[in-house]
Amino acid sequence: MSTVKLTIKQHDGTERLFAVFEYNKELNEAVRQIPGARWSRSNKAWHFAVNKEVVKLLREKLKGLAVIDTAELKLQLQERNEVRLDKRLVSSGSGQEAVTVGSMLKPMPINNTQTVALKAYIELLRLKNYSHNTIKTYSNWFIIFLNYFPERKPSTITKYEIMDFLVHYRNSAKWSSTVQNQLINAIKFFYEQLLNRPREEYDLPRAKKEFKLPSVFSEQELKRIILATENLKHRTILCLAYSGGLRVSELVNLKIRDIDTDRMVITLRAAKGKKDRQVMLSPVILELMRAYYIAEREKPKVWLFEGQYGGQYTTRSIEEVIKTSKKKAGVTKKGSIHALRHSFATHLMESGTDLMTIKDLLGHNSLSTTSIYTHVSKKHISKVQSPLDKLGL
């Protein structure tokens, strides 16, 4: 069965939804009959208005004739519609706005005093040079805290009321050591850093920290995932993440000037903890980068990976890339883009690389953080014979 790939392209100054497929007389006629279809001589493809009804019509009319591939379309729409917390905070409308916390929408504070406090809170986080992710996390938790006291001026909320909120939230939501630490630290930042109040201790029993092993893909699984990624930019992103153990934030923040082909190193600037570090530039990934650069119609200008509409590529788009590639490759093992970093470290350990070198490549502060990979490495486990094997069953 044929495949019709849907993608958004600029055509005559406007965005159009293109249906790309190998020529098939019956399929071509079916697409031509769909209302609004126009033929592009330059692209040699049918195109439509960017409309969800068009996608619905294509699915209905081409059922049994072709498979509709919307993977690239979904990435384009997510990239275009990516809305950051910063943009929502600068507006000053009187209606309720919303910010995303996990999968839930949290209303912005409607109390004017709280809105002023929130903006001052975010501004101080920026002045203290906190990372974008930390600012987003702290702000989201602070908004949840403010929403618990809708009519209150934040500076008048007492320690006992804060304790009441923490107990309430602990009993009514999914709780973990990470959630507890983030929530308490977000509250403490407001009172201790912004209002300059004395340091407070909130006597809440600390949630037990879970010991979870990182998800690691086998080399065979990684090969299947990479080969299933047909888009050259997407394949380059996945290979780069694995070849150097990069975090997703490091992938989107990578600039063209950070690739040193003479010394064969990649410089990761102001990575987690605002620290620079270097990782090796694999000859394989270098060739892939060059092929990707040549193939791009709109050449990247600043960032190594740029969106279709210019500017930085988004972390959400990268997460969607690996999700789609895993599905195509038939890899059901749990693991996001960060699992490529885990796989990089584990495979290095299994091939004999010492722990200190892996620590430096990953940019860890402590060797104890890196030692987690000793628990998932099969290097020593594979040498141990199970007692079951000796029973001669």
| Type of residue found at 172 | S
Average pLDDT, the chain: 85
**88 has a pLDDT exceeding 50:** no
Predicted pLDDT at 110 = 55
**234 labelled catalytic:** no
Q: How far apart are CA 352 and CA 198, in angstroms?
A: 50
The model's pLDDT over 36-73, given as tens digits with 9 standing for 90+, comes to 899 998 888 999 988 888 888 898 889 888 889 888 88
Segment holding 287, helix H or strand E: helix 283-295
Architecture of the domain defined by 85-194: Orthogonal Bundle (1.10)
Q: What is the mean pLDDT of residues 134-141?
A: 89
When computed from its CA atoms, the radius of gyration of the chain, rounded to whole angstroms, is 25
How many residues does this entry show for the chain? 393
Indicate the DSSP class of residue 37: -
Q: Which of 59, 170, 272, 328 is catalytic?
A: 272
**191 has a pLDDT exceeding 90:** yes
3-state SS assignment for residue 271: coil
The model's pLDDT over 228-269, given as tens digits with 9 standing for 90+, comes to 999 999 999 999 999 999 999 999 999 999 999 999 999 998
Q: Which of 47, 234, 235, 247 is catalytic?
A: 247
Q: How far apart are CA 93 and CA 107, in angstroms?
A: 13
**90 has a pLDDT exceeding 50:** no
Predicted pLDDT at 220 = 96
Q: Which of 341, 342, 347, 359 is catalytic?
A: 341
Q: What is the mean pLDDT of residues 307-331?
A: 88
- The domain spans of the chain are 2-69, 85-194, 219-380
Q: Which of 9, 80, 316, 338 is catalytic?
A: 338
**87 has a pLDDT exceeding 60:** no
Predicted pLDDT at 297 = 79
**212 has a pLDDT exceeding 90:** no
**191 labelled catalytic:** no
CATH of domain 219-380: 1.10.443.10
Q: Which of 342, 347, 359, 364 is catalytic?
A: 364
**272 labelled catalytic:** yes
Where are the strands (E) in the chain, listed by range?
Answer: 2-11, 14-20, 38-40, 45-48, 66-69, 98-101, 104-107, 259-260, 265-268, 277-280
**208 labelled catalytic:** no
Domains 85-194 and 219-380 alike in fold: no
Name residues whose C-beta falls within 8 Å of residue 257's C-beta, 6 or more positions apart in sequence. Answer: none
Token pair for residue 219?
């080399």
**362 has a pLDDT exceeding 90:** yes
Which of 35-49, 119-133, 254-268, 308-322: highest mean pLDDT? 254-268
**169 labelled catalytic:** no
Predicted pLDDT at 180 = 85
Out of 95-99, 116-120, 269-273, 306-310, least confident range: 95-99
- With the CA atoms of 241, 242, 246 and 248 taken in that order, what torsion angle do they form, in degrees rounded to the nearest 10? 40
pLDDT band at 100 (very low <50, low <70, confident <90, very high): very low
Residue scoring higher pLDDT (76 or 101): 76
Query: Do residues 24 and 35 lie in contact, with contact meaning Cβ atoms separated by under 8 Å?
Result: no
Between the CA of residue 69 and those of 56, 58, 74, 130, what are the distances in Å?
A: 13, 11, 10, 40
Q: What is the mean pLDDT of residues 171-180?
A: 76
- With the CA atoms of 360, 221, 258 and 76 taken in that order, what torsion angle do they form, in degrees rounded to the nearest 10? -140
**168 labelled catalytic:** no
Residue scoring higher pLDDT (291 or 136): 291
Name residues whose C-beta falls within 8 Å of residue 213's C-beta, 6 or more positions apart in sequence. Answer: 372, 375, 376
Predicted pLDDT at 113 = 85
Residue scoring higher pLDDT (376 or 192): 192
Predicted pLDDT at 84 = 38
